[in-house]
């Protein structure tokens, strides 16, 4: 289990407030939040770039309890895969670290987790739960911390699942939109502008790719020429997003590091990529560790056509695939009800 350093993730060196819960604001009895799926890496931004989409996502309910301590009382949609023990659950780890930091480890809180997105999908399932858990409890406690101050706690939660400290899923899930992580070690995370007509076509083939497996097949050393190409593409993509330059975005959406190795985990990947590009995608690659794939597109109509074309490729294998067409989600995790 990861233990959060309150100075980690704060590049200015300012401490995250301790004992920050305002007891006068703790009038809520129950909070329900929605935490969206995310696309990490975004082709050329391995471990440093990600964006949130509108759906799918997870829902988490937290409520006050007269019984001291934090408990997970119910999990649905997981086929019995996820543990109720908080120390073994991504949402639970994030919440325990948060409560410990605030000095509220004995406060009575119950949580329900409703998984509404597939496991091992490359859509940030574990990140969505970690973010939802910490965000919901923070809201229940009167928001003692800002969203940005929650970053180290939610990263610790996801790290409990895959053993890696990175924010390319939790960053956009928590902060919304497109995020650039200048440093994962420092959690120096920044939002990038979203062009007005930028849409995502995401397709999830019904197979499982574990993040740990996808990381194991990555090369440990990268040639200088490859590193230069990748950094040029990342710079070009960020510049294109700032300038609303769709042509530059398209020229930059190429992954020279992860995709050549991970594509073999996804049946008919390059055929799906050709179909996406023929349908008008700006660029196409693997979402996170896969097996989900994504394309960025100019306009909803193109995104719908790309999603249809890619889904048909997987269906021909045959592999059942679920398409999601979405604007970039600017909100990220948010409250859907409270009482």
Helix (H, G, I), strand (E, B) or coil at 260: helix
What mean pLDDT is predicted for residues 205-233?
90
Provide the pLDDT for residue 213: 80
Q: Which long-range contacts (CB under 8 A, 24 or more apart) does 188-193 make?
A: 188/9, 188/11, 189/9, 189/148, 189/151, 192/238, 192/241, 192/242, 193/241, 193/242
* Active-site choice (158, 259, 298, 305): 158
Domains of the chain: 23-191+330-338 (3.30.230.10), 198-327 (3.30.70.890)
pLDDT above 90 (res 235): yes
* Active-site choice (38, 211, 298, 311): 211
Give 75-102 pLDDT, tens digit per residue.
Answer: 999 888 899 999 999 999 999 999 999 9
CA 271 → CA 159, 275, 284, 294, 313, distances in Å?
Answer: 33, 6, 11, 14, 7
Among 24-28, 291-295, 316-320, which is the least confidently predicted range?
24-28
Structure confidence at residue 25 as a pLDDT band (50, 70, 90)? low
Provide the pLDDT for residue 8: 46
- Which pTM does this prediction carry? 0.91
Which tokens in the block code for residue 135? Answer: 């965000």
Tell me whether residue 158 is one of the annotated catalytic residues: yes
Provide the pLDDT for residue 16: 55
């Amino acid at each position: 289990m990861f233990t959060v350093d309150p100075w980690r993730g704060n590049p200015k060196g300012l401490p995250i407030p301790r004992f920050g819960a305002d007891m006068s604001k703790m009038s809520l009895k129950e909070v329900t939040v929605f935490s969206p799926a995310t696309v990490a890496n975004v082709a050329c931004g391995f471990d440093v770039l990600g964006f949130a989409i509108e759906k799918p996502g997870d829902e988490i309910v937290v409520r006050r309890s007269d019984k001291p301590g934090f408990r997970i009382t119910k999990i649905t949609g997981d086929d019995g895969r996820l543990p109720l023990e908080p120390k073994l659950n991504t949402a639970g780890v994030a919440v325990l670290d948060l409560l410990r930091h605030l000095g509220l480890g004995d406060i009575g809180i119950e949580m329900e987790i409703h998984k509404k997105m597939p496991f091992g999908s490359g859509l940030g399932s574990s990140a969505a739960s970690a973010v939802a858990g910490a965000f919901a409890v923070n809201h229940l406690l009167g928001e003692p911390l800002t969203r940005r101050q929650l970053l180290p706690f939610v990263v610790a939660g996801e790290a409990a699942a895959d053993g890696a400290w990175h924010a390319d899923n939790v960053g956009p899930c928590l902060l919304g939109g497109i995020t650039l992580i200048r440093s994962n070690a420092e959690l120096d995370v920044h939002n990038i502008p979203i062009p007005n007509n930028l849409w995502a076509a995401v397709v999830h083939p019904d197979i499982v790719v574990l993040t740990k497996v996808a990381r194991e097949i990555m090369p440990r050393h990268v040639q200088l020429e490859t590193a230069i190409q990748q950094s040029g593409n990342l710079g070009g993509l960020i510049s294109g997003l700032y300038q609303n330059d769709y042509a530059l975005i398209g020229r930059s959406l190429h992954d020279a590091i992860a995709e050549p190795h991970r594509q073999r985990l996804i049946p008919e990947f390059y055929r799906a990529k050709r179909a996406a590009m023929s349908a008008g995608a700006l660029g196409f690659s693997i979402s996170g560790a896969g097996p989900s794939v994504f394309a960025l597109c100019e306009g909803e109509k193109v995104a719908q056509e790309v999603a249809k074309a890619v889904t048909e490729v997987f269906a021909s294998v045959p592999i059942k695939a679920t398409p999601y067409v979405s604007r970039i989600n600017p909100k990220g995790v948010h409250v859907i009800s409270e009482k």
